[in-house]
Amino acid sequence: MRVVLVEDHHLVRKGLRLLLEEGGHQVAAEFARAEEALAAPWEAELVFLDLNLPGMGGLEALPLLAKRAKVLVVSMHDEPAYVARAFALGAKGYLPKHALDQDLLEALERLGRGLRYLHPSLTEALLEGQAEPGPEVLSDRERAVVALLAQGYTLSQVAERLGISVKTASTYKGRALNKLGLMDTPDLVRWAREQGLA
């Protein structure tokens, strides 16, 4: 398969490239940021995606990348919320960074046959993962906007308190909704109060 790597650590990308090429696969492109991957005109069957990226996070980029190729998340996060959210956003596989090289090759083999892949150590996480994600999936600014909304502030008041424009505050709210899989502000407020953010 032709593979695109979206990973901000050079050494990790180099290691993945070596493993892939040894297995007969071709690395079509490498990117350190999701924005670069989304803007580039690559063609591939599979994207290796890290979740912790500078700028646009992996979860935010995942549904956009999934429109262009199958996405295999390769992440240090093995919490149920991350695993469940990644699959909900369109990932076809999830591989923790502590996995072995043979696990990587097995993931490629399954995805190549049109199947999903979940590392054995994460099976329990996926079964539990229907629980809502926790605050850790949000950026600091997204969390601040959500917390203020949960305290009863309007979007314009949130913007004023944080020293940002209403449009920017609305963007942060929208990103939070997307990451959490929620539909509207009342859902967001309920979630924030359940999480103790209010």
The 3-state DSSP class for residue 118 equals: strand
168-185: pLDDT as tens digits: 999 999 888 877 777 788
Which has the closest alpha carbon to 133: 99, 93, 88?
A: 88
pLDDT tens digits for 115-153? 999 888 787 655 655 555 677 778 889 999 999 999 999
CA-based max dimension of the chain = 56
Exposure of 124 in the CB half-sphere (CA atoms within 13 A):
3
Q: pLDDT (tens digit, 9 = 90+) per residue, 8-46?
A: 999 999 999 998 998 889 999 999 999 999 999 999 999
47 strand-pairing partners: 4, 71
Q: Which residues pair with 147 in a beta bridge?
A: none
What residues are paired with 27 via a beta bridge?
Answer: 3
Which residue segments constitute the domains of the chain, with CATH numbers given? 2-128 (3.40.50.2300), 135-194 (1.10.10.10)
Q: Which two tokens stand for residue 63?
A: 């549904």
Q: In this structure, are residues 3 and 42 in contact, taking their beta carbons and an 8 Å threshold?
A: no
pTM: 0.65
pLDDT at 3: 94
